[in-house]
C-alpha cells in the first residue's frame, strides 16, 4: 500500500493537502505534529467529510520534536496523551512512538515506530528494537534507519522476514541509498511504503513521490517473484534509467521492476545481494560511474565487445551468474549510422578519454573510421589511442574532421553548462557534431556547431539506443522504443 504523508501548518491547508494526496494513496498519513495547534472542533467535521469520499485509510501521527523521532514541534507528555485520547475521531490507524505506554483506543490498526535518522544499527540492535516495539501492544512495527550505502540497508531489509499473520512490518532504509527499500519493500511484505505528495513535500530523506511509486515503479500487486533490475552507481539520484526501463517492462507486460541502487561497496553488494541472502530476485544491472571498470572482476563471463572496450555498463544475472556487456558502443553508433551508413575512411575526433570515449572509440574504429582522440590528459588519450589503434593529438590549427564527438561531461546542466570541450577551429571544416551529453538537449557544443552550419546529434538518441539494447540482453525481446522515449521525455520535461 502506498502511504502518502501530508503536513500543514493550518487546518484548512491540511484539508487541501489531503485532497491533493488522495489520487495515488491507499493510506494517507497525517502529520498532526506539523499543525501549529490541533483543534478537534474544526478538524473532526472536516475529516468526516473527507473520509466519506476517500476509500483508503487515514493514519494519524503526532511525533514530538523532542525525543529524536523527527517531529515538527516540541510536545509535552500531556499534549500527546490528550491528542491520542481523541485522535480516533480523525483517523482509522495510528502510529505511535515506543514511549507511549497507553495504547490509544478506537483505531483499527496500531503501528509502533522507531527511527534512526543518522545511522543504521547492526542486526542485533535492530532485532532488539523490533522485539521491544513488537511486545508493547501493536499490530505493526515500523523501523526506519538511515543508509549511506546501499549495502548498509541490509539489517532493516531483513526485518521484513519477521512479518507474521498477526504482526505487520514496515521496514525502510532512508536516504538515496535506501530508496530501493521503499520501492521493493511492498513486494516483500512491507505493509506500507511512504511517499511524498510531490517533489517539494518530502517528509523523510529518500522519499519518492506517490506518482512515481504508482506509475513508474507500479509497486502495488508485486510479490517476491517480481524480477528486480537496477542501476548501480555512486550517485543514482539523477538517473533516467528507472523511467526508461520501467516503461519498457510495463509496455512489454513483464512483472519486473527497475530500481536505483546507490552502491559504494561493490564487494558487499555482489556478495550479499547478488550471491547472498538478501532474497531479491536480481536479474540484471545497469552500471554507471564509478563501477564500469571495477565491476569486471566480479563477473563470470564477459561479452567480447565489453572485453575490448574494457568497461561494462550492463550485467545479466542468471541464477547468480553474472555476464557483462557494454551497450554504449552500439548505442553510440546506431544514431550515427542514420547519417553515415558507411563510416569507412570517415575522419572523426573524440574529445575525452573516459569510459564513454572508450566505447565510442571502439565503435568508430570497428566501423572503419579514421579516429583521433583529444583529452586534457595527454597520457590518457595516448593510452587510449594505443589500445584502439587510432591517433591521439593536441588540438592544432590544421586538424580537420568530418565528425566531432564530445565525450566529456562539459555542457551538462549545472556549473559547466555553458562550456564546450571542442574548440571553434575544429568545427570549421566538420560536417556533424555529436554530443554524448543529453541534459540539456541542446548543449553549448551543439549550439556552436549549429552556428557553424553542422548537423547535430544529441546524447538522448544514444541513451535510448543503449537502453533498448540492454532490454534485449535482459529479456530477449526488443522493447517498444517509442514508449521508452516518451517516458524519458516526460521525466526530462519535469
Active site residues: 292
Q: Which of 130, 258, 438, 445 binds ligand NAP (CB under 6 A)?
A: 438
For residue 440, the minimal CB distance to ligand NAP (Å) is 12
Site for ligand NAP in 358-377 (CB under 6 A): 375-377
- Among 98-106, 136-144, 224-232, 348-356, the segment contacting ligand NAP (CB under 6 A): 348-356
Question: Under the criterion CB under 6 A, does residue 440 sit at the interface with ligand NAP?
Answer: no
Question: Under the criterion CB under 6 A, does residue 205 sit at the interface with ligand NAP?
Answer: no
Containing 249, the helix (H) or strand (E) segment is helix 241-252
Q: 480 — phi, psi (to 5°)?
A: -80, 110
Of 275 and 380, CB closest to ligand NAP: 380
Give the Cα separation of 385 and 392 in Å (integer).
6
* Nearest of 435, 378, 444, 369 to residue 407 by alpha carbon: 435
Containing 97, the helix (H) or strand (E) segment is strand 93-97
Question: Under the criterion CB under 6 A, does residue 407 sit at the interface with ligand NAP?
Answer: yes
- Bridge partners, residue 142, by sequence: 113, 170
- Among 156-164, 167-175, 186-194, 430-438, the segment contacting ligand NAP (CB under 6 A): 430-438
Question: Under the criterion CB under 6 A, does residue 282 sit at the interface with ligand NAP?
Answer: no
Would you say 4 and 189 are in contact if contact means Cβ atoms under 8 Å apart?
no
Site for ligand NAP in 293-332 (CB under 6 A): 328, 331
Q: 218 — phi, psi (to 5°)?
A: 45, 60
Question: Under the criterion CB under 6 A, does residue 409 sit at the interface with ligand NAP?
Answer: yes
For residue 274, the minimal CB distance to ligand NAP (Å) is 23
Question: Under the criterion CB under 6 A, does residue 335 sit at the interface with ligand NAP?
Answer: no
Question: Under the criterion CB under 6 A, does residue 333 sit at the interface with ligand NAP?
Answer: no
Q: 265 — phi, psi (to 5°)?
A: -95, 95
Question: Under the criterion CB under 6 A, does residue 491 sit at the interface with ligand NAP?
Answer: no
Question: Under the criterion CB under 6 A, does residue 270 sit at the interface with ligand NAP?
Answer: no
Give the Cα separation of 108 and 63 in Å (integer).
20
Cα Rg of the chain, angstroms: 26
Of 289 and 490, CB closest to ligand NAP: 289
Q: Which of 204, 410, 426, 433 binds ligand NAP (CB under 6 A)?
A: 410
Q: What is the DSSP letter of 190?
A: B
Question: Under the criterion CB under 6 A, does residue 463 sit at the interface with ligand NAP?
Answer: yes
Count of residues touching ligand NAP (by CB under 6 A): 26
Give the Cα separation of 191 and 210 in Å (integer).
16
Question: Under the criterion CB under 6 A, does residue 334 sit at the interface with ligand NAP?
Answer: no
- Bridge partners, residue 321, by sequence: 318
Would you say 337 and 393 are in contact if contact means Cβ atoms under 8 Å apart?
no
Question: Under the criterion CB under 6 A, does residue 273 sit at the interface with ligand NAP?
Answer: no
The cell numbers describing 454, all together, are: 553542422
Give the Cα separation of 228 and 331 in Å (integer).
23
Q: Which residues bind ligand NAP (CB under 6 A)?
A: 289, 328, 331, 352-357, 375-377, 380, 407-410, 412, 421, 436-438, 459, 462-463, 466
Amino acid at each position: 500500500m502506498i502511504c502518502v504523508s501530508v503536513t500543514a501548518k493550518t487546518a484548512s491547508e491540511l484539508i487541501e493537502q489531503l485532497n491533493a494526496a488522495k489520487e495515488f494513496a491507499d493510506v494517507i498519513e497525517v502529520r498532526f505534529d506539523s499543525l501549529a495547534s490541533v483543534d478537534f472542533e474544526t478538524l473532526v467535521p472536516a475529516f468526516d467529510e473527507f473520509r466519506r469520499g476517500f476509500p483508503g485509510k487515514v493514519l494519524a501521527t503526532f511525533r514530538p520534536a523532542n525525543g529524536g523521532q523527527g517531529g515538527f514541534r516540541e510536545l509535552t507528555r500531556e499534549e500527546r496523551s490528550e491528542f491520542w485520547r481523541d485522535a480516533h475521531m480523525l483517523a482509522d490507524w495510528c502510529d505511535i512512538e515506543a514511549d507511549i505506554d497507553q495504547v490509544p483506543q478506537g483505531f483499527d490498526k496500531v503501528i509502533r515506530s522507531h527511527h534512526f535518522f543518522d545511522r543504521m544499527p547492526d542486526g542485533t540492535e535492530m532485532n532488539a528494537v523490533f522485539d521491544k516495539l513488537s511486545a508493547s501492544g501493536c499490530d505493526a512495527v515500523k523501523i526506519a534507519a538511515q543508509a549511506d550505502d546501499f549495502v548498509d540497508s541490509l539489517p532493516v531489509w531483513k526485518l521484513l522476514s519477521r512479518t507474521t499473520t498477526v504482526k505487520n512490518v514496515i521496514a525502510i532504509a532512508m536516504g538515496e541509498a535506501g530508496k530501493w527499500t521503499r520501492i521493493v519493500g511492498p513486494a516483500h511484505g512491507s505493509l506500507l511504503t511512504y511517499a511524498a505528495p510531490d517533489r517539494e513535500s518530502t517528509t523523510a530523506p529518500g522519499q519518492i513521490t506517490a506518482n512515481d511509486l504508482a506509475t513508474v515503479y507500479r509497486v502495488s500487486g508485486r510479490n517476491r517473484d517480481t524480477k528486480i533490475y537496477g542501476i548501480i552507481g555512486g550517485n543514482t539520484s539523477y538517473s533516467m534509467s528507472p523511467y526508461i526501463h520501467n516503461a519498457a517492462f510495463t509496455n512489454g507486460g513483464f512483472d519486473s521492476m527497475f530500481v536505483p541502487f546507490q552502491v559504494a561497496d561493490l564487494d558487499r553488494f555482489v556478495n550479499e545481494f547478488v550471491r547472498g541472502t538478501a532474497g531479491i530476485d536480481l536479474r540484471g544491472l545497469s552500471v554507471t560511474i564509478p563501477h564500469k571498470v571495477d565491476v569486471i572482476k566480479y563477473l563470470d563471463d564477459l561479452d567480447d565487445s565489453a572485453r575490448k572496450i574494457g568497461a561494462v555498463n550492463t550485467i545479466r544475472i542468471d541464477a547468480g551468474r553474472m555476464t557483462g556487456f557494454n551497450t554504449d558502443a552500439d548505442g553510440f553508433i546506431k544514431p550515427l549510422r542514420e547519417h553515415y551508413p558507411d563510416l569507412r575512411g570517415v575522419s572523426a575526433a573524440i574529445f575525452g578519454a573516459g569510459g564513454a570515449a572508450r566505447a565510442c572509440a571502439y565503435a568508430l574504429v570497428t566501423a572503419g573510421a579514421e579516429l583521433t582522440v583529444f583529452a586534457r590528459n595527454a597520457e590518457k588519450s595516448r593510452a587510449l589511442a594505443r589500445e584502439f589503434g587510432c591517433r591521439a593529438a593536441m588540438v592544432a590549427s590544421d586538424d580537420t574532421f568530418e565528425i566531432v564527438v564530445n565525450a566529456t561531461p562539459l555542457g551538462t546542466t549545472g556549473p559547466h553548462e555553458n562550456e564546450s570541450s571542442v574548440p571553434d577551429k575544429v568545427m570549421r571544416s566538420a560536417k556533424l557534431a555529436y554530443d554524448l551529453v543529453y541534459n540539456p538537449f541542446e548543449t553549448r557544443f551543439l549550439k556552436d556547431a549549429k552556428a557553424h552550419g553542422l548537423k547535430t546529434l544529441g546524447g538522448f538518441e544514444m541513451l535510448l539506443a543503449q537502453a533498448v539494447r540492454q532490454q534485449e540482453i535482459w529479456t530477449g525481446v526488443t522493447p517498444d522504443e517509442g514508449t521508452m522515449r516518451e517516458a524519458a521525455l516526460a521525466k526530462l520535461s519535469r
